[in-house]
Amino acid sequence: MNKKDILELKRRMKKTHCTFTRMCGCYVNAEKEIVLTFNENFLNLEEDELHKYLEIAAKTLSGTPGNNLLELSFPKEQEEAGGKQQFLMGLKESRLKNDELAQAFYQLVIENYDYAGNYLIVLFHDAYDVMTKTSDNNALDESEEVYEYLLAAVCPVALSKPGLGYLESENRIGPRMRDWVVGVPDVGFVFPAFTERSTDVHSAMYYTKDTKEPHDEFMEFILGCPARQTATEKKNTFQEIVSGAVPDERKRGRVLYDIHETLQGMVEEKALYTEPEQEPDPIVLTPQAIQDVLTSSNVPEEIAVRIERSYTEKFADEPPVADLLVDKKILNAGAHERREEELLVEVQQLKDELGLTKNELALAQSTARAVSDFAEGAVGEAAVALTPEDASCEVILRVAPKKADQITTQMIGGRRCIVIPMEENEHASINGAELAEE
């Protein structure tokens, strides 16, 4: 059953579209005793009651296929006389009018369903006249087939929370009565499955509210099908495989992020090349496919080998699909960590640039002070080297701007000399000592 098949059934869970013929069920207490049973024509229910039961039925068709909704296949032996599939076929064909078959189903649930507390078992029977659709999904006014099925839901029943309320008989505010309230379904199923808008008696669609603990015992002992892992279980198993293959905790998060980023990219690319009105084909992560994922994620070879070995052991029979394996929390955490690393690099670059700017500023300030000192005729330490590079020079000149273009070099006595012409009214100093006139 794909999303379109499930939505087609779910849209019928409204009074204006619903064709449920009958409903039956029982209320079971925490001691696994049947407190009451009921069997009624569905359309004869009071309107408020009818809507509440439709909400229960619709909830059993909600969630994500492959996670909350699992398609279960019946083994061959269960389709033979005495098998669970044959029992469900008889219950369906009775249209819930056979109380003995209904009681047998209740007992099957009570004996095998692992739940501590009160709960309600509800069975609905429906006969859906499936309309023929054209290639552009327009319905024609003619029947393709009659899809007859059972929808079952098991709902916890718990006491309402204590609180205050208006006590009309006493005209005051006081503690309100606590009632036993039916909650949303914990588990449920549709039989036969509705596959490609047609009856599939070899399969059932199973619903679980809790994808971490999907009640394997219900799948195995009540429906008689091999239990299947939900996407949540597969995701947790996959993360355990990767974590176990990366002993260094500091590297583990990065490896997980790189792998999930690659998976997310594969899913987005698949959707990009899929027609808008179509559902993208699932990307099945076979052992060979996961090897390609690890290579694309630049996972070190020794770690990749360990992951591939464990992955094959866990998922050889039923590989997960990429879009249900992607963990948004890991992607968000990894993206946040990567951004922090990028910010640290940017901060260090800014520090380096700021340090260079400070040095340049110090040099400019030193030069400005020296020029100012010279203009005022200052002597002493102001005439000392201006920059660190000056320390390697034996001769350092500092002259008034008007003298700079008068300076030349000449060979005198075989030596290169600096020649600075001096006027009668000009003075010179060397290292703070005034140069004597000859």
How many whole angstroms separate alpha carbon 351 and alpha carbon 113? 64
Given a cut of 60, whether residue 424 has pLDDT beyond it is yes
339 vs 297, 332, 343, 353, CA distance in Å?
Answer: 18, 11, 6, 21
Given a cut of 70, whether residue 387 has pLDDT beyond it is no
pLDDT (tens digit per residue) in 137-165? 555 556 678 999 999 999 999 988 888 88
256 vs 50, 305, 318, 323, CA distance in Å?
Answer: 48, 15, 22, 15
Contacts of 105 (CB under 8 A, 6+ apart): 87, 91, 121, 123
pLDDT (tens digit per residue) in 258-271? 999 999 999 888 88
* Distance from chain centroid for Cα 316: 24
Picking from 386, 355, 350, the residue whose alpha carbon sits closest to that of residue 368 is 386
More confident residue, 47 or 176: 47
SS (H, E, C) 169-216: CCCEEEECCCCEEECCCCEEEEECEEECCEEECCEEEEEECCCCCCCH
pLDDT (tens digit per residue) in 252-299? 888 988 999 999 999 888 888 777 777 778 889 998 999 999 999 999
How many whole angstroms separate alpha carbon 39 and alpha carbon 273? 50
Given a cut of 80, whether residue 358 has pLDDT beyond it is no
- The secondary structure of residue 6, as a DSSP letter, is H
How many whole angstroms separate alpha carbon 149 and alpha carbon 89? 9
At residue 384 the predicted structure's pLDDT band, cuts being 50, 70 and 90, is: very low
Ramachandran angles phi, psi of 334, nearest 5°: -65, -40
How many whole angstroms separate alpha carbon 34 and alpha carbon 106? 9
Kindly tell me the number of DSSP H helices and DSSP E strands found in the chain: 12, 16
Please return the burial class of 112, using the count of CB atoms within 10 Å of its CB with bins 0-12, 13-18 and 19+. Answer: middle
Please report, rounded to a whole number, the percentage of residues in the chain having pLDDT higher than 70: 87
Contacts of 27 (CB under 8 A, 6+ apart): 34, 35, 36, 37, 118, 119, 120, 157
